[in-house]
Amino acid sequence: MLYGYGGNILRIDLTTGSITTEPTDPKLAEKFLGGRGFGIYFLFTEMPRGADPLGPDNLLIFSPGPLSGTLVPGAGKLDITCKSPLTGGYAGSNVGGILTAEIKYAGYDSIILKGKAPKPVYIFIDNDKVEIRDASDLWGKGSLETEKILKDRLGEEFQIATIGPGGENGVKYACITTDYGRQAGRGGVGTVMGSKNVKAVAVRGNKSIPVADVQAFRRAARAMYKACKDSPGLQVWQRYGTAGVTVWSNEIGAFPTRNFSSGQLEGYENLSGEVMREKIVITDKGCFGCPSPCGKWSHVKKYGVRVEGPEYESTALLGGDCALTDIEDVAYANYLADDLGLDSISAGNVIAFAMECYERGILTDKDTDGIKLTFGNAEAVFAMLKKIAYREGIGAVLAEGVKHASQVFNKGSETFAIQAKGMEFSGYESHNAPSMLLSYMTCDVGAHHNRSWAITYDIQTGRDTVTPDKAERVIYLQHVRPLFDALGACRLQWVELSLDLNLYVPTIAALTGLERSWDDLLKVSERIWNLTRLFWFREVPGFGRAWDMPPARFYKEPVVSGPTKGKVMALEDVERLLDMYYEKRGWDANGRPSPQKLEELGLTEFAAAV
Amino acid sequence: MATVELLGILREQAKVRPEDLGPADGKAVADVIQALGLPADLVAFVMVNGRQQPKTYIIQPEDHVILIPLIGGG
Ligand code: SF4
């Protein structure tokens, strides 16, 4: 008996219509845990090398983890993995809501989609009953409307993942939405779903998860709950969610403003968590089993819509980076991105880039179809989101991502295309934060903060210094934080409520029946990290050090205003930081894992395929 | 009298304990942070009676001020 798992891997071939299941391999569970670990394992071993990300050979893999759907606080996280159409490398995107629990209760540890349906379909999963159903009537509809229609049709207890027009039209950063506002946003997982003609996945499960020692598990999980409820951090986290960060981020010059030219926005007070709470928030909204619901359900009166959020990240990119200063404008842009099925981070970043191009004269009214694409113009942001989703006019170029757009617009715009590995930066301005910049440079999906977030470390240790401990800190975080994505649980109880990491150890032991130390779990996380790295080397011709470099803005163009005004990193410091990072990881000067490191992690057989 | 509470690493990093500071009433939060010997940027949230306030906020008698760092991040 494989305790703590759904017990099966479900494979759906959309080309042939074949649907099969097989038992989850206990050895796989031991070596890769689940969630993102299973995702990269199946992607690496089953996707043919060099597959077109938008072709039938790419896989789209939904994986809960061993903690998903259990009593553990925040047990509502799902990993979605595929080869990224945005970067050409690895995409692993994490999403909350309730879907992960439902997949687990239906008995699955991974659902692997491959092939391409001949016409629009949705996947229907009711425990063991799995069908590919016609979705012609849903194609073209928004993400949120699609979810509502399927809930009405199938019943409230079905949990549903959808794509919007962005995913249907091949926007390279299209997202997958569930629970009316939770997104697997990054890397184009929604684009891949659209390329397979899959509009939605609907799941219901009624089975139970086998637990090795029920009494011990209840005790351990309840101790975790109690620690969350007793945490003094709960009041700020529950009242504001991620939006609580906005004020501080501005204060320290980390709030991306006008395409990362500054870290402080004049008028940011109007975007604060408190203003948001007073003006638009109706209620709190949490994922499955969450004691600290950070989601905020908002009613945007000015535009007559309801939206989950905006989260800090959406406010940072659609707000600060585009210089919008009215929380209702930002919330409406967030709503549009959600319903159109676009990653609000990449979309905001891309629009801010286009705004800078417009203000510099690289783009003109002729290019924008007359839209005045100036910073602060909310109507222009709304219009661009629609143009991108439907690939109209300049939207067709911007739909390819900021790296591609800068190559098309040229005229030096590559300097301020704020991306790494082809993925747009998320919400922390990092001119004066070496550890945070390194986090973005080396993140395994492209420039995202979820694997390592190190601003406070920079503040503690000095924002101008480049020292080996910074690389060490980033590596530590890159193992701890994504470990939660392998376990299928939320990291924010640890991050925001200071939940003691040691509490997870007895909980996992009681659930799975396997005693695993925290160090042992971190080793699994390091194994996963190195396998994603090998995937990049296998899939991206010429992959290496250059892919880990940030855009030149961070080492050539000083910050123009705010508390970090004038700050810029020296190129040699950026390079030095990367050298330190590679050395500490056991990688060579081109960022390739050494044979010794791979052997230590039990990955030698995988290296043979690279 | 207003009370000031520190969370997480702020407790370890403060050079003075809040209770040894003397009354905080009438002072700006930023001044209290300085008097505690804390780098202002380490204080991510200022919560006063359950509401987030800027560091310019002037502490009132009976206020309960909690200073919170952000360690793990978003
Ligand atoms: S803290 Fe937020 S993201 Fe995490 S489980 Fe709770 S509601 Fe979901």
User: What is the 3 state secondary structure string of A496-565?
Assistant: CCCCCHHHHHHHHHHHHCCCCCHHHHHHHHHHHHHHHHHHHHHHCCCCCHHHHCCCCHHHHCCCCCCCCC
Contact assessment for residue B66 and residue B3, using Cβ atoms and an 8 Å cutoff: no
Q: Is A110 left (phi over 0), alpha (psi -120 to 50) or beta?
A: beta
Centre of ligand 1 to C-alpha A150, Å, is 24
Residues of B in contact with A453 (CB under 8 A): 72-74
Buried b (16+ CB within 10 A) or exposed e, A443-463: bbbbbbbbbbbbbbbbbbeeb
Domain B3-69 class, CATH top level: alpha beta
Kindly identify which residue of chain A lies nearest to residue B53, measuring between CA atoms: A274
Tell me which amino acid residue A14 is. Answer: L
> pTM, whole model, 2 decimals?
0.97
Q: Is B74 an interface residue toward A (CB < 8 Å)?
A: yes
- Dump pLDDT digits (tens) for A275-284: 999 999 999 9
> What's the topology of domain A241-413?
1.10.569
Predicted confidence (pLDDT) at residue A455 exceeds the cutoff of 70: yes
Cβ <8 Å between A235 and B39: no
Q: Where are the domains of chain A?
A: 8-204, 241-413, 434-498+517-607
The whole-number pLDDT of residue A379 equals 98
Greater pLDDT, A323 or B73: A323
- Dump pLDDT digits (tens) for A3-32: 999 999 999 999 999 999 999 999 999 999
Percent of chain A with pLDDT over 70: 100
Cβ <8 Å between A456 and B44: yes
A254/chain B closest Cα distance in angstroms = 11
Alpha carbons A61 and A535: distance in angstroms, whole number: 15
Average pLDDT (A215-225) is: 97
Express the helix, strand and coil content of chain A in percent, nearest 5 each: 45, 15, 40
A362: DSSP letter:
S
Cβ <8 Å between B68 and A232: yes
Contact assessment for residue A181 and residue A338, using Cβ atoms and an 8 Å cutoff: yes
Average pLDDT (A374-383) is: 98
Predicted confidence (pLDDT) at residue B71 exceeds the cutoff of 80: no
Going through A167-212 in order, the beta strands assigned E by DSSP cover 176-178, 182-184, 198-204
Sheet containing B51-52: order of strands: B3-6, B64-68, B45-48, B51-52
The whole-number pLDDT of residue A233 equals 87
Contacts of B20 (CB under 8 A, 6+ apart): none
Q: What's phi and psi for A549, nearest 5 deg? A: -85, 145
Predicted confidence (pLDDT) at residue A182 exceeds the cutoff of 80: yes
Alpha carbons A255 and A233: distance in angstroms, whole number: 22
The whole-number pLDDT of residue B74 equals 57
- Dump pLDDT digits (tens) for A109-139: 999 999 999 999 999 999 999 999 999 999 9
Average pLDDT (A473-484) is: 97
Residue showing tokens 């390079």 = A575
Centre of ligand 1 to C-alpha A491, Å, is 8
Residue A497, token pair as written in the block: 């409520």
Centre of ligand 1 to C-alpha A490, Å, is 6
SS3 A134: strand
Q: Is B28 an interface residue toward A (CB < 8 Å)?
A: no
CB atoms within 10 A of CB A235: 17
Q: A191: exposed, middle or buried (C-beta count within 10 Å: 0-12, 13-18, 19+)?
A: buried
CATH number listed for the domain at residues A8-204:
3.60.9.10
Instruction: Report ipTM for this prediction.
Output: 0.93
Cβ <8 Å between A235 and B50: yes
Alpha carbons A569 and A521: distance in angstroms, whole number: 35
CB atoms within 10 A of CB A118: 10
B23/chain A closest Cα distance in angstroms = 23
Distances (CA, A) of A184 to A118, A169, A250, A344, A447: 25, 17, 26, 11, 15
Cβ <8 Å between A498 and B8: yes
The whole-number pLDDT of residue B72 equals 66
Residues of A in contact with B42 (CB under 8 A): 456, 459-460
Q: Is A73 an interface residue toward B (CB < 8 Å)?
A: no
Kindly identify which residue of chain B lies nearest to residue A311, measuring between CA atoms: B74
Average pLDDT (A395-420) is: 98
B71/chain A closest Cα distance in angstroms = 6
The whole-number pLDDT of residue A496 equals 86
Pocket of ligand 1 (CB under 6 A): A 74, 76, 96, 286-287, 290, 292-295, 490, 492
- List the beta bridge partners of residue A420: A423
Residue showing tokens 């380490």 = B42
Confidence band, pLDDT 50/70/90 cuts, at residue A610 = confident
Confidence band, pLDDT 50/70/90 cuts, at residue B73 = low
Contact assessment for residue B55 and residue B46, using Cβ atoms and an 8 Å cutoff: yes
Confidence band, pLDDT 50/70/90 cuts, at residue A292 = very high
Mutation target for B interface from A236, A239, A242, A270: give the one with most B CBs within 10 A: A236
Q: Is B71 an interface residue toward A (CB < 8 Å)?
A: yes
Q: What's phi and psi for B30, nearest 5 deg? A: -60, -40
The whole-number pLDDT of residue A512 equals 98
- Dump pLDDT digits (tens) for A408-424: 999 999 999 999 999 99
Tell me which amino acid residue A378 is. Answer: A
Centre of ligand 1 to C-alpha A493, Å, is 8
In the predicted model, what is the mean pLDDT of chain A? Answer: 97
Percent of chain A with pLDDT over 90: 98
The whole-number pLDDT of residue A609 equals 79
Domain A434-498+517-607 class, CATH top level: mainly alpha
